Amino acid sequence: MTKSISRRDVLRTLGMGAMAGSVLRVIPMQAAEYAHNMVQAEKASSADGYTPKFFPGHQYQTLQALCETIIPSEDGSGGAIEAGAPEFIDLLTSENPEYQLKLGGGLMWLDSACADRYGKAYLDCAPEQQKQMLDQIAYRRNALADPSLSQGIDFFSFLRMMTADGFFTSEIGIKYVGYVGNKYMKSFAGCPPVPEA
């Protein structure tokens, strides 16, 4: 007798694999596709669209803004928002206490650090202030000069990985890379010539 796999089992498996490394390397594409399909089904069935499962309103809006900054829309190609990366991240986080601590705590850290520097939460900061803050937490070497950035650097590194995973496992992300799947070729003419510099 085969045991059916529950939504929670799939999300927990996705979450455990992503902690070990990138979803793209560790987790079967079918599991990521399942999570994206769950999000799409909820968006289609609700007039309000997706309802965050873990992040409260303000944190979810901050998550969306950060995902858009990490992978913006460009040249007619959708970015992280269109690919459903924030929903993907929220859904996985709702089932993983380690994610809840790392991402929820990281978003609180970000707002607190912005309040200390600029007197307001990240979303209320001017775009230049947001950029300055993200430039500080985007590079591990900055923790050497200012150890107080360590938590923010760990958070932002993890969030970039999760955003990339949410994007590149989505339909938009797969189309962006031009993946056509495994297919039989009758002949292979070889690699194209390398252009001379």
* pLDDT, the chain, mean: 85
Half-sphere exposure of 66 (CA within 13 A, CB side): 31
Q: Residue 2's pLDDT is what?
A: 39
**pLDDT band at residue 77 using 50, 70 and 90 as cut-offs:** confident
Give the mean pLDDT of 171-182.
77
Residue with tokens 């969306």: 64
pLDDT of residue 101: 95
Both tokens assigned to 102: 């790392």
Spatial separation of the C-alpha atoms in residues 170 and 179, rounded to whole Å: 12
pLDDT given at position 85: 95
**Interacting residues of 23 by C-beta distance below 8 A, sequence separation 6+:** 14, 17, 32, 165, 169
Nearest CA to 152 out of 162, 164, 144, 140 is that of 140
pTM here?
0.79
Beta strands in the chain (DSSP E): none
Per residue in 9-42, pLDDT tens? 555 555 555 544 554 444 566 777 888 888 888 8
